Amino acid sequence: MISKKYIVFLFCWLLGGICYASFPVESETIINHIENAKPKFDLLAFLIGVFSAWTLPYSLLVLFLIKRKHIRKSLIYGWLVGILIIATLLLLLFIGTFTGVPWTIY
């Protein structure tokens, strides 16, 4: 016997297939809204974060000097990427040291 769950599922599935994109989409308002948006990412702050990740406990003091949130966020993302780069290099060093892989490969 067919249960009510299957009937509701089939009804919603067929209704979704019939009604998909059956209304006009105005793309001009979406594009204008995106162009007027404020910047959410600062490349300079990100690069400063990447290159200052090795001085991380001391470079946290920079956060007290910056007032804009998107610059702080980009700086923190840069620190995270810098930490990942340092961890990857340390992992390669560890693998190369204890497995005997010659350094000419890297």
If you search the block for the tokens 């600062």, which residue do you land on?
42
Please give the model's pTM, rounded to 2 decimal places. Answer: 0.56
Tell which residue, 94, 77, 95, 84, has the closest CA to residue 54: 84
Confidence class of residue 97 from pLDDT cuts 50, 70 and 90?
confident
Supply 103's token pair: 């350094």
34-79: pLDDT as tens digits: 555 666 888 888 888 888 888 887 878 888 888 888 888 888 899 9
Q: How far apart are CA 44 and CA 24, in angstroms?
A: 40
The SS3 of residue 79 is: helix
What is the residue extent of each domain of the chain? 4-99
